[in-house]
Amino acid sequence: MHETTRISRAVAALAFLLAPALSHAADNASTGAPVASIRSAPAQSGASRLDDYKDPDLWGRIRSGYAIPDLDNALVTRNTQWYVSRPDYLARTAGRASLYLYHVVSELEKRGMPTELALLPVIESAFNPQALSTANASGLWQFVPGTGKDFNLKQNMFKDERRGVLASTDAALTYLQRLYTMFGDWQLALAAYNWGEGNVQRAIKRNQALGKPTDFDSLSDLMPAETRNYVPKLQAVKNIIANPGQYGISLPNIENSPYFTQVDKTSDIDVAIAAQLAEMSVDEFKALNPQFKKPVITGEETKILLPKQNAEKFHINLSQWGRALSTWTTHKITGAKESIATLASKFHTTPEVIRQANNIPAQSRLKTGSTILVPKTSASTGDIAESVMDSAVVSFEADHRNRTSNKYSGTSRFKPRNGHTHKR
């Protein structure tokens, strides 16, 4: 790929990443767009696909691996019309996807899974790794905290791997494979991914007891609206990707080559310094590394993602750096006398810096036992210990309200709110 093309792609994708996502309103969308007919193709083995595939266009690679039986009903038509009537939304989503899609497709092929599953984040998050639902589902694949823990997605004060591209994709594909093994049907597996396997199993048993079919279409009347539209939405996106010209859609070119590479880090490093060494803006860096929640990246085995040429720059600049890579450490609050103002004075910074680094609202005070991020006062201060990362909790309360508090903990579980149906 020419360097100018790569840079243009990165800048465009970053702009799309930062653009606000439109809310999905497919349930109320009007009908009218034709639905393309796509013949399912068997999934090919990952090894041969990865070694032999020559299509320069990633969209073509995805089309060739479609393997989920097609669905053709009124909801597919309605959802197809919803997307087709919003070309700007599709363009923003495709722009964000250009950073991550090659990796997702490659991982699907390694597992012999249908490649249209690479389009599922269009439905889940519009390919925004920072997306957060009302049920506290997060990331490209929208895992809720509890299910994220079930699939070993680390969530603590410093990182949330539900938002990490590599970890969340691996977890999502593992979960989808498990569901397919359970139901033997990709449409039911997708319904279970959205609604929960227990709910799908109960719906199947209910129809079986009544002597009715148990395919997705036959069970859809028992599903909540979100799940009833879930597979039709994916089918709608499949249809558009299969034949964009039929719908008057112009897909941006996504080259069939890796966008990023993995870089090992051996010590704590500030996000700003990592971006500087890679010769990227902080926003560009965060687009590939959205799991890091603090201004410092911790953990000896942590990897960062960078575009290939930026990774080369990173290594060259790192070898010439000669300064501390991290300017942050942690401090545990031992008593009420440690106010944010006194801490700022102790660590030679300002209250605003401490509040911003730890997401502490104004007019709040820290509670005893909290572990917070503070600037290092000595170059001899070592890396943040793994045990601290896993157990750190920030608790604070309003200065002028009794018993009003807010707590952030790497071990807390959040419960879905507002009756959201996601079970991940």
Residues carrying an active site annotation: 124
Q: Are 219 and 203 in contact (CB under 8 A)?
A: yes
Instruction: Give the torsion through C-alpha atoms of 121, 125, 130, 132, to 10 deg.
Output: -130
Instruction: Put the strands of the sheet holding 364-366 in their side by side order.
Output: 364-366, 393-398, 405-409
Concatenated DSSP letters of 259-271: SEEEEE--S-EEH
| Rounded alpha-carbon distances, angstroms, from residue 143 to 75, 134, 230, 290, 422 | 25, 12, 16, 15, 8
**Residues 375, 380, 386, 387: what is their CA dihedral angle, to the nearest 10 degrees?**
-80
Contact 394, 372 (CB under 8 A): yes
Give the torsion sign (CA, 170, 176, 177, 178).
positive
Per residue, the 3-state secondary structure of 333-384, as one string, reads CCCCCCCHHHHHHHCCCCHHHHHHHHCCCCCEEECCCCEEEEECCCCCCCCC
Distance between CA 163 and CA 96 in Å, rounded?
Answer: 14
